Amino acid sequence: LGGIGKTQIVLKFIEETADCFSHVFWIDASSAGTITQGLKGLCSLPAAQTYALDGSPESALFWIGSLR
């Protein structure tokens, strides 16, 4: 469904609710594989490095769940 404004809706949501979130992550959810790769990629972020994540999607989700 390209070109119907999905990204603009998300950007507006983030703009209006920015004070409710400490982090915003963009993950390509076009397939299970891209979700897995995106979550693995989060493990390499400097903020995640202090949590000694093992690089798995599960550890990334655990880290995301711990954010406040």
Global confidence as pTM:
0.76
> In the predicted model, what is the mean pLDDT of residues 9-32?
91
Model confidence at 30, in pLDDT bands (50, 70, 90)?
very high
Region 38-57: mean pLDDT is 93
Higher pLDDT, 21 or 1: 21
Tell me how far CA of residue 1 lies from CA of 11, 30, 31, 44, 52, in angstroms: 17, 11, 15, 31, 38
Cα–Cα distance, 1 to 30 (Å, whole number): 11
Query: At residue 1, does pLDDT exceed 80?
Result: no
Confidence of residue 40 (pLDDT cuts 50, 70, 90): very high
